[in-house]
Amino acid sequence: MRLAALCYLALVACLLPAAGSADTPPIAQMETTVPAEHADWTRILKTYVKMGSDGITRFDYAGLKASKADRAALDAYIARFADMDLSARTDANFAAWANLYNAVTVRHIAGRYPLKSIKDGYLTGPWKAVKVRAGGRTVSLDAIEHKILRKTWGTPEVHYSINCASYSCPNLPAKAWEGATLRKDLASAARAYINQARGVDVTPDGLVLSSIYDWFQADFGGSQEAVIAHLLEHAEPGLAGKIRSNPHIAGYHYDWSLNDAAKLKKS
């Protein structure tokens, strides 16, 4: 009897799959993707960011204002940053601060909509007045841009990551910045801006550039020559050839009109 029982157990063991076999992959193989940290903001962006035929994104502020659920979701997303540790100089924290800046700006505009410009009702703009709790302190939009992003990271890409709700600002992307893809996505944002006329406009008199390259020339190398070099890094071949043939900067321009998706319906 004992011999028969042992033989039966051995047969059962042979029929059962071995641990870690192809039929039962280990946990490390099963978990192949890492959830995006800013998925809630991406959902809002995908819902309300609209791409125009001119390559410029606009935001459906009216749609967001009309959605109580999405406004609550936006509030909840922003509230997550209140006591988050955002002090380290990492790609993840750059993405967090840039997303927060954009989310707070969108909330501010949606709350005051309709309006023609982010500057409406202010002498110079709302950037010092609009504040949020983040990283354990209260900060303004102005502080996020100048005292955190520009001061901590000090790269030209800062200017392609934040959107001031205006036509001439670099595009508000249809997905959130994420630390894992930040470098690639910022390079794409720079290319999109520079190769569109509101970034670089070639005229018979020379180049008319976005005022960003004037206001923040120090961030782009500190001289007009350095600005031109930066533009050439991201310019498509056709534009690069035109810049090289006449690199003279004839002037700067900036349009503060609201990046309102309602304008797409009228055009």
pLDDT of residue 23: 35
pLDDT digits (tens, 9 = 90+) for 85-127: 999 999 999 999 999 999 999 999 999 999 999 999 999 999 9
pLDDT band of residue 35 (cuts 50, 70, 90) is low
Residue 24 counted as domain residue:
no
Give the end of a domain, one of 122, 152, 185.
Answer: 185
pLDDT of residue 265: 74
**pLDDT, the chain, mean:** 89
pLDDT of residue 162: 98
pLDDT digits (tens, 9 = 90+) for 146-167: 999 999 999 999 999 999 999 9
Q: From the centroid of its chain, how far is CA 148? A: 16
pLDDT of residue 9: 40
Residue 51 counted as domain residue:
yes
pLDDT digits (tens, 9 = 90+) for 52-82: 999 999 999 999 999 999 999 999 999 999 9
Mark whether 103 and 235 lie in a shared domain: no
DSSP 59-98: E-HHHHHH-HHHHHHHHHHHHTTTT----S--HHHHHHHH
Give the end of a domain, one of 129, 152, 185.
Answer: 185
Mark whether 136 and 204 lie in a shared domain: no
Give the end of a domain, one of 132, 163, 185.
Answer: 185
pLDDT digits (tens, 9 = 90+) for 37-46: 999 999 999 9
Total domain count, the chain: 2
Mark whether 232 and 130 lie in a shared domain: no
Residue 207 counted as domain residue:
yes
pLDDT band of residue 193 (cuts 50, 70, 90) is very high
Mark whether 43 and 151 lie in a shared domain: yes
Domain enclosing residue 234, as ranges: 199-257
Residue 17 counted as domain residue:
no
Residue 83 counted as domain residue:
yes
Q: What average pLDDT score do residues 117-141 get?
A: 97
Q: What average pLDDT score do residues 202-219 get?
A: 98
pLDDT band of residue 36 (cuts 50, 70, 90) is confident
203 SS3 class: strand
Mark whether 135 and 222 lie in a shared domain: no
Mark whether 157 and 104 lie in a shared domain: yes
